[in-house]
Amino acid sequence: MANILKITRFIAALLLIITYTACEDDDVMEPTLPSFIDIDVVTGLDLYDFNGAPIGRWKFPNNKPGDNHIFPNPCTDAVFVLSQQNIQKLWLVPANCFSDSTTMNIPELSGNLSFSISDIEDNQVKSFEIMGATGNNIALDLSDVAPGFYRLFMQLEDEEIYWENIYTDNSVNSFPDWSILEEGCE
């Protein structure tokens, strides 16, 4: 009889521990870290001067530029968008910079990402309709947006969507002042 009582107590204690652990897991939501696949996350920038010449790379950008080119980056109040195809529409989505130290091949992996137009439109702060059939060299005025990181999405005539991470701050006299980028990145 004593053994049955010990076994019963052991089973009751085990059930109590299992129940407590299961409830604890349900009640506590672990925070999720931003990821390079999120629409509002920037993990780096491809850097270009005012003439469109590459001047380097800062961190590991989660871009999908295709054959398109956005410059200067970083910029003060305007960017130029060049494409081999006609650009149908552009969207500017505010982003948070996040240093992803676990995924080193972000630039390669980002080429396989895709975002729906509805997701882009739900997150945008500004959109640009392109008038005319020859929209493959476009200047965008960004002087009215807050300083910070953004993702500039573009839909081309083949309906494909590409994007590039940019940083804009119209209070900066000239780049490269990379400390501004570092200060704004987690």
Answer yes or no: do 14 and 104 share one domain.
no
Residue 12 has pLDDT above 50, yes or no: no
Within a domain: residue 74? yes
**What pTM did the predictor assign?**
0.79
54 and 126 assigned to the same domain: yes
Digit-coded pLDDT (tens) for 97-142: 998 766 668 888 888 899 999 999 999 999 987 766 557 889 999 9
Q: Residue 58 is part of a domain; what is its CATH number? A: 2.60.40.3080
Residues 67 and 21 in one domain: no
Q: Yes or no: say if 98 and 185 are a contact pair by the CB < 8 Å rule.
A: yes
User: What is the C-alpha to C-alpha distance for residues 87 and 99, in angstroms, rounded to an integer?
Assistant: 30
Same domain, 10 and 100: no
HSE-up (13 A, CA, CB side) for residue 10: 6
Structural domain including 15 reads 1-30
Residue 138's DSSP bridge partners are: 81
